[in-house]
Amino acid sequence: MTTEQIVIVILAVAAAALAVALIAVAARLARMKKQGRDYADSVRVIDGVRYSRDTAVTRDGEINVSYQKGDFILEQGKTYTAVRKGALMPGTYTLLASGDPTQTFKLRAGGYVRDYKHGDTLVLAEGDSVCAVSCNVILR
């Protein structure tokens, strides 16, 4: 083989590898785009609460709630205080159970532990503290 033939073979192999890589990237982008479209189509809103379209409650009893921009998550056992210009601001919030099999949960608000249901309303004034006792809770 001459030098020219060797260069042509090397260039052909490199071009074939580049073509395979481009096809793989295009397939991955198409799959990601399809998944994004499917996710947007799989959400339904009931009384201002976003649920996955599969079912509002799975067969295991868990609630499928998708997070929205502006949601605040109360971690179990951690106390938060409502402060202006803080992470948790004073206001009226809808309480949503986050992945808990039951639709009732306990919150410590105003120093007292009380049962709340999925979809109940909680009003926090400046300086009020709140703590999720039984599970993580979403404030919307």
pLDDT at 99: 65
Task: Tell the residue number behind the tokens 């959400």, with chain if given.
Answer: 43
What architecture is domain 70-139? Sandwich (2.60)
Q: Is the dihedral of CA 88, 92, 95, 98 positive or negative?
A: negative
pLDDT at 20: 95
State pLDDT tens for residues 55-98: 344 444 555 565 666 788 888 889 999 888 788 888 888 888 87
60: tokens are 């295991």
Question: Where do the domains of the chain lie?
Answer: 3-41, 70-139
pLDDT at 64: 53
